[in-house]
């Protein structure tokens, strides 16, 4: 079967798959919801690929297609950031060429595309399809599986949504996650506030110190996020904490910020600090994607499609892990749209067929010649993002 034509003819079927996935809510932290989603993903994949997956920890699904060792890893996730009940305000909807629904762009559409693209190839040798259920919380349970499956592969193709304008994601920042906790002493806020050690005030000092660790010139962001402190409005708080999100393209920058956060010292007398967390995902460098990006551009030209641009982005994905395992990695091969994690999350329907065709043809090309350019560190005639 022609891998470049079938996805165009099956758009209604593809949309039906996306709708089913969206309507099965799967917030990462809701174990029951993610398990229900894994059941659905397994049924859909079994129907389209002709074989059942191996289930890992109940929520991660692994298909091996063909009898030969896996040469191409196709990677996605079925969990989302949207809590159960979000469909009441963000239901599946198609209007004026735009598909909407909680988790549609990140990344229910990408999961559907993977199934339909690989189904076209029939019985290909050397493909591993891995759909995980905990990517949105940092892949704590699937990280080892991802790294093990990526090791030795010629390529990892990641079905996260495209960057702006349909660009492929050829570089990602590394990231770290931390919690800065302050411990003080409670006291009555009206009768004896001076007897307490106020963790809200201590955290305010530490938030400003943390924020100052960012280096915009190097593209390093250090962002204090979720903040809690105290137990009641009339009590000097004795316990509080804030989360910190760190993003950097340079591993040395991640190390610098890590050392600075761990070196924070209390400002208030009697206060104590506890710093937990650390670097979570290493950067995905351009060098890990350049050869595959070049192949994707050649494949797009062969199919008569617009050649996708290359983009470096701040968000992390499981592509960071496959690149760190030494596997050439191309990310952002999923749907074209935007608004991930927000009220405007959407997918452009007109581009779904050609993106699926590109994925199918690129996978087939890698199966035919897995060593053609996947490890090159530069791309002729293509600007570095």
CA distance 108 to 102: 9
Tokens describing residue 140? 């704590």
C-alpha atoms less than 13 angstroms from C-alpha of 117 in its C-beta half-sphere: 28
Tokens describing residue 274? 């506890």
CA distance 86 to 248: 32
**Could you give the residue numbers annotated as active site?**
79, 135
What distances in angstroms separate CA 200 from CA 177, 186, 235, one per listed residue? 21, 11, 11
SS3 letters across 259-315:
HHHHCCCCCCCCCEEEEEEEEEECCECHHHHHHHHHHHHHHHHHHCCCCCCEEEECC
Tokens describing residue 252? 């040395």
The string of DSSP letters for 58-93 reads TTEEEEEESSSPP-EEEEEE--BSPPTTGGGTS--E
CA distance 113 to 19: 12
Question: By C-alpha distance, which of 110, 147, 170 is closest to 334?
Answer: 110
384 Rama class: left (phi>0) / alpha (psi -120 to 50) / beta:
beta
What H or E segment, with its residue span, contains residue 267? none
CA distance 254 to 246: 8
Contact 44, 24 (CB under 8 A): no
3-state secondary structure at position 175: strand
Largest CA distance in the chain: 80
What H or E segment, with its residue span, contains residue 116? helix 109-120
Beta bridge partners of 302: none
Residues 114-126: b if buried by 16+ CB within 10 A, e if exposed = bbbbbbbbeebeb
Contact 344, 338 (CB under 8 A): yes
Contact 194, 335 (CB under 8 A): no
């Amino acid at each position: 079967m022609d891998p470049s034509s079938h996805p165009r003819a099956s758009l209604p079927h593809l949309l039906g798959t996306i709708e089913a996935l969206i309507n099965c809510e799967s917030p990462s932290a809701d174990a029951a919801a993610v398990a229900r989603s894994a059941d659905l993903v397994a049924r859909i994949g079994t129907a389209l690929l002709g074989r059942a997956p191996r289930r890992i920890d109940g929520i991660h699904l692994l298909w091996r297609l063909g009898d030969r060792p896996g040469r191409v890893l196709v990677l996605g996730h079925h969990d989302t950031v949207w809590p159960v009940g979000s469909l009441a305000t963000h239901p599946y909807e198609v209007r004026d060429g735009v598909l909407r629904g909680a988790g549609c762009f990140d990344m229910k559409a990408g999961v559907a595309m993977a199934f339909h693209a690989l189904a076209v190839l029939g019985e290909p040798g050397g493909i591993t399809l891995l759909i995980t259920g905990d990517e949105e919380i940092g892949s704590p349970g699937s990280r080892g599986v991802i790294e093990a499956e990526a090791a030795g592969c010629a390529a990892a193709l990641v079905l996260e949504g495209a960057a702006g304008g349909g660009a492929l994601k050829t570089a990602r920042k590394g990231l770290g996650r931390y919690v800065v906790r302050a411990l003080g002493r409670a006291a009555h806020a009206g009768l004896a506030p001076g007897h307490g050690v106020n963790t809200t005030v201590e955290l305010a000092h530490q938030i400003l110190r943390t924020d100052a660790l960012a280096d915009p010139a190097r593209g390093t962001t250090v962002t204090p996020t979720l903040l809690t402190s105290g137990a009641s409005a009339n009590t000097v708080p004795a316990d509080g904490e804030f989360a910190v999100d760190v993003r950097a393209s340079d591993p040395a920058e991640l190390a610098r910020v890590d050392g600075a956060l761990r070196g924070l010292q209390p400002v208030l007398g009697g206060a104590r600090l506890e710093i937990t967390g650390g670097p979570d995902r290493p950067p995905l460098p351009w060098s890990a994607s350049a050869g595959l990006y070049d192949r994707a551009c050649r494949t797009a030209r062969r199919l008569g499609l617009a050649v996708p641009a290359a983009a470096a982005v701040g968000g992390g994905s499981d592509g960071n892990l496959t690149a760190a395992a030494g596997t050439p990695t191309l990310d952002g091969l999923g749907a074209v749209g935007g608004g991930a994690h927000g009220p405007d999350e959407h997918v452009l329907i007109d581009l779904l067929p050609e993106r699926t065709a590109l994925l199918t043809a690129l996978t087939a090309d890698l199966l035919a010649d897995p060593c053609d350019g996947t490890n090159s560190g530069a791309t002729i005639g293509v600007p570095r993002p």
